[in-house]
Amino acid sequence: MSNKKIESELKANLKKINHRKRIKLRYKTTKDEGFSLYLDFWNGTNREYYFLKIYLGNKTGTYFQDLNLLKTASAIRDKKEFELIEQNNDFKIKSLKQQFNFIDYIESILTKKQKDDHVWQSTIKHLRDYAPGAKIKDINQTFCVSFVEYLKNKTDLNINSISVYFSKLKASINQAVKENIIQSNPANGIQIKKNQSEREFLTLDELRIIKEADCPNIEIKKAFLFSCFTGLRLSDIRALTFDQVQGEYLSFIQEKTDGHLRMKMSKNAIELIEQQRDLKESGQVFHLPFNVSEIIRTWVSQAGINKHITFHCARHTFATLALTSDIDLFTVSKLLGHSDIKTTQIYAKLIDKKKDEAVDKLPEI
């Protein structure tokens, strides 16, 4: 068959193949008077040409071989069109999600993760005051920097609180990146240097005192003591279920870091678990109200301890007790679920400071 005849047949076949198709299968004449097949399509931004390296009409080929090659090219075209449709649909979905109200999006995240602590709620309140109508597409570096400046201008906030609220904003944007709504987090690279705050904790003697003292809420008392014996954060205590208790061990995903933690419990911690198991067979180990730290302050004060103790101080207590019991820094870091040992070193410095203060109290002779 002559090349003119082949080209005539090729045109007829391509007309059928390309009918109502977004990606067109086309040909280009080669130097040896054959035909090179390629795809021609609009990707949404510009026109693309994708050569298939499939050649028809060469002198060694046959008409039937050319037909088979054309079928192969047509199949490649169909696959490419399917991929393009998927890509465009993803783009449309992404564009639609970017129109969502950003604060509504954050609240939907909290609902899914069953998070409702006061820090998140305070962050939402500040965002609502700052930019109530902001959409996800509006969240850029300028938005993030301006939000920090807005917080700094509030006289009732210290730099540490501002850092915490900004970290929640960053976490929300990270979730949008994970869900492929936006490409990258514009808050990355924005640093807020925190002041080194005093990490308050209870000594072993003080822990014994509050263990014997009455608390306005027995569930909070048990949960706080459990944190003192395990180092678990409040968020992990709230989420802890009996399914995550495996004999003498706890095995769970940390709420803050999403990292898996498996740790052996002390006898004191196991005793508290068994007390709770006697009260409820399954589900959450502890059911806590939202005014936890307020009740803890009342309990500690009535026990005669003059320290500003919040629930998170239980974690500090566990860390300092572990280090003073000669557990090495690396092991304590792993027990606390720290990703960076530098975070744990703060507790070691705290103990050194207390030792220095004790020496300063020695009488002169």
Q: Residue 301 in contact with residue 255, Cβ under 8 Å?
A: no
| pLDDT value of residue 88 | 63
Q: Facing residues of 47 across strands?
A: 42
Determine the Cα–Cα distance for residues 16 and 25; give it in Å rounded to an integer. Answer: 10
Asked if 9 and 57 touch (Cβ cutoff 8 Å), the reply is no
CB distance 213 to 299 below 8 Å:
yes
The tokens describing 274, both together, are 């068994």
Residue whose C-alpha is closest to residue 25's, from 69, 90, 86 = 69
16's tokens: 């059928």
Q: For 200-239, how does the pLDDT look when each residue is reduced to its tens digit (9 = 90+)?
A: 889 889 999 999 999 999 999 999 999 999 999 988 999 9
pLDDT of residue 157: 82
- Residue 42 backbone dihedrals phi, psi, to 5 degrees: -100, 120
When the pLDDT of each residue in the chain is averaged and rounded to a whole number, the result is 83
**pLDDT of the chain, 365 residues: tens digit per residue:** 566 777 787 888 888 777 777 788 888 888 877 888 998 887 667 788 888 888 887 655 566 677 888 888 888 888 888 777 666 655 555 667 778 888 888 888 887 665 656 788 889 999 999 998 889 888 899 999 999 999 999 878 888 888 889 999 999 999 888 888 888 899 998 888 776 656 788 988 999 999 999 999 999 999 999 999 999 998 899 999 999 999 999 998 887 777 888 999 999 999 999 999 988 877 899 998 877 888 999 999 999 999 889 898 998 899 888 888 888 888 888 888 877 777 777 777 766 665 666 566 666 67
- pLDDT (0 to 100) of residue 361: 65
Q: Encode the chain in three state secondary structure.
A: CCHHHHHHHHHHHHHHHCCCCCCEEEEEECCCCCEEEEEEEECCCCEEEEEEEEEECCCCCCHHHHHHHHHHHHHHHHHHHHHHHHHHHHHHHHHHHCCCEHHHHHHHHHHHHCCCCHHHHHHHHHHHHHCCCCEHHHCCHHHHHHHHHHHHCCCCCCHHHHHHHHHHHHHHHHHHHHCCCCCCCCCCCCCCCCCCCCCCCCCHHHHHHHHHCCCCCHHHHHHHHHHHHHCCCHHHHHHCEHHHEECCEEEEECCCCCCEEEEECCHHHHHHHHHHHHHCCCCECCCCCCCHHHHHHHHHHHCCCCCCCCCCHHHHHHHHHHHHCCCCHHHHHHHHCCCCHHHHHHHHHHHHHHHHHHHHCCCCC
**pLDDT confidence of residue 8:** 80
User: Can you give the residue ranges of every domain in the chain?
Assistant: 3-97, 102-178, 204-360
Which CATH number is associated with domain 102-178? 1.10.150
Residue 77: count of CB within 10 angstroms of its CB: 23
What is the topology classification, in CATH, of domain 204-360? hpI Integrase; Chain A (1.10.443)
